[in-house]
Structure 1
Amino acid sequence: MSCTTGSSVNRGERQKSIGVPERCWCGRKVYLLVSKTNENPYRRFYRCQGALQRQTESHLFKWVEVAMAEELEEQKVEIGKAFAELERMGGDCIALGRCLKSQFGSLEARVCQLENDAKLREAEECSNKRKAVFGAYRHLGVAVFVAGGLALVYKAFCG
């Protein structure tokens, strides 16, 4: 048996199939069979349905271990791509974290500024209230002083 490989393409054009084949280049289903030859006893292989019916060598034939080795290599490539994508995403996450940290720093500074502004307004309001109260007490003190003075003047004149 020869070891030719192919896959389904348009109108009989043959291309090499990589990994575990699902269809022959002719479009027919591929079967998993066991060799009964003296050279390869009990060795498993893939064979096209058309080759089984017509007993022709031009259809797909592939040993299972060759297909598995190719499949493994393909998976290594895909895993490599996945790891590269994970590394890229990790870098994006780090950059996003830095950006968020910067924004949180800015927001925290703004909150502190607003808190300080609120404390200043509260202190000003308290100071204004204190001034108003002290102003009222001052007026009351002046009124008491004037009333006391008038009382002394009245007592001095009236007796």
Structure 2
Amino acid sequence: MTSSSNSSARFPRISNHGVPTRCWCGEGIITFGSSTAENKYRRFYRCQIARDRKTENHLFKWIDEALIDEIRMVEAKHERVAQEITKFEERVIEKVKSEIVRVEAEMSEKLKEKVNLEIARVAQDMKQKLKIATVAMVVVGAIVGIWTSISVIGWLSSEFDGFKIS
């Protein structure tokens, strides 16, 4: 059990996607140029151990293929980030909309309360003014009634001054 954990610590698992940085053996990667006829001067990644020991199976990757892999990984990551941004924007817009609805409802309720208080105040004010107007009309009516009575009595007494009842 300890040998496998030691071996995995010495030879970390290395991904073969994109541009490699280390071989599976843990050795750093170096670039070399091909000298074969079909790939003359084509560049590749390889560790120094693999270069010296051609019989061992170490990491080998063409640089152009590694760069294409890297570009595809960046494009995939870019697409994931763009999707996350879109989802985030949608969540933010939903939260803003719900907050607007909440604030509008709260403001509407407060406005209704203020309007109702103002209506009650105006109604109370109008009742008070109506009472004053009613009392004033009663007083004016009484004055008119008294004045009319006095005027009629005065007129009658002037009309019937010379008339005596026997």
* TM superposition score category, shorter chain reference: 0.5 to 0.7
**Structure 1 position 93, deviation (Å):** 2.4
**Structure 1 position 128, deviation (Å):** 7.0
Q: Which has the higher contact order (CA 8 A, sep 6+)?
A: 1
- For 1:18 and 1:10, the matched residues in 2 are separated by 21
Q: Give the stretch that moved more between structures: 41-50 or 122-131.
A: 122-131
Where structure 2 has 5 or more consecutive residues not aligned to the other structure, the ranges are 1-7, 144-166
Tell me the C-alpha RMSD between the 2 structures. Answer: 3.5
Deviations 1:50-100 (Å, cap 9, x if unpaired)? 223x33251111101111121122222212222221232232123223312
TM-score (norm 1): 0.63
Asked if 1:94 is matched to 2:93, the reply is: yes
**Structure 1 position 12, deviation (Å):** 5.8
- For 1:38 and 1:96, the matched residues in 2 are separated by 63
Deviations 1:17-43 (Å, cap 9, x if unpaired)? 111001100111111222344432321
Give the match's secondary structure for 2:44: strand
Query: Is the contact between residue 32 and residue 44 of structure 2 (CA under 8 Å) also seen in structure 1?
Result: yes
Identity of matched residues, % = 25
Q: How many residue pairs end up in the alignment?
A: 138
Corresponding residue for residue 113 of structure 1? 112
Deviations 1:98-138 (Å, cap 9, x if unpaired)? 31232122122112212203312442564477579879x96
TM-score (norm 2): 0.61
| 1:1-159 alignment runs, 5 A limit | 17-52=16-51, 54-56=52-54, 57-124=56-123, 126-127=125-126, 130=129
Query: Is the contact between residue 10 and residue 26 of structure 2 (CA under 8 Å) also seen in structure 1?
Result: no
**Structure 1 position 48, deviation (Å):** 1.0
Give the match's secondary structure for 1:26: coil
Q: Give the stretch that moved more between structures: 98-107 or 35-44.
A: 35-44
Distance 1:60 1:133, change over 3 A: same
Where structure 1 has 5 or more consecutive residues not aligned to the other structure, the ranges are 1-8, 146-159
- For 2:122 and 2:12, the matched residues in 1 are separated by 88
- For 1:105 and 1:13, the matched residues in 2 are separated by 58
Distance 1:134 1:70, change over 3 A: same
